[in-house]
């Protein structure tokens, strides 16, 4: 039952215990009890909205970036000390330990590309143990957290006549 509840909430965090119970065929009281348990133990860390940032940025501006970070693991601490330090920055939305050609993936959002650049050279690159970074700007989101984004409504076409 827990997995069914989590899958539903991952797609729509606004569902009530009654709505979930109806969808999975369990009693509302059972679902409410399970919800309370998994909220207490931290399995559900938060209920959040999936925002189409491309649409929001079209009105207000802003950029998102994925920053690859290579680090030298610290003796006795591995990657944790550096990751915990990076996670403290308000700009950091998500932080992942990765396998492959880089160690950490840092997702940030800023007002413009310059702010992203300043974050990298003023904060990330100066951390002891960080050996290199590579910044990738998110150009367009097609799907996030199971939610496919529709393209924004196009404005009137503009043509150049010569």
- Tens of pLDDT, residue by residue over 87-127, are 999 999 999 999 999 999 999 988 889 999 999 999 999 99
pTM here is 0.65
Question: What are the residues whose beta carbons fall under 8 Å from the beta carbon of 147, sequence distance 6 or more?
Answer: 11, 50
Q: What does the mean pLDDT of the chain come to? A: 86
Residue where the block lists tokens 């100066």: 126
Whole-number Å distance between alpha carbons of 155 and 19: 38
Contacts of 22 (CB under 8 A, 6+ apart): none
Q: Give me the torsion for CA of 125, 101, 108, 134, rounded to 10°.
A: 50
Beta-bridged to residue 68, according to DSSP, are 105, 134
């Amino acid at each position: 039952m827990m997995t069914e509840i989590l899958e539903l909430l991952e797609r729509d965090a606004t569902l009530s215990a009654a709505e979930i119970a109806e969808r999975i065929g369990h009693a509302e009281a059972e679902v409410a009890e399970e919800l309370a348990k998994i909220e207490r133990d931290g399995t559900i860390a938060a209920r959040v909205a999936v925002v189409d940032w491309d649409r929001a940025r079209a009105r207000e501006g802003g950029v998102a970036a994925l920053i690859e970070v290579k680090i030298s693991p610290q003796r006795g601490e591995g990657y944790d000390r550096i990751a915990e330090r990076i996670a403290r920055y308000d700009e950091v939305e998500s932080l992942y330990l990765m396998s492959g050609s880089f160690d950490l993936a840092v997702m940030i959002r800023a007002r413009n590309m310059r702010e992203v650049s300043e974050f990298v050279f003023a904060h990330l690159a100066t951390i002891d143990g960080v050996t290199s970074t590579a910044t990738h700007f998110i150009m367009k989101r097609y799907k996030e957290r199971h939610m496919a984004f529709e393209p924004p409504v196009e404005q009137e076409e503009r043509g150049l006549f010569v």
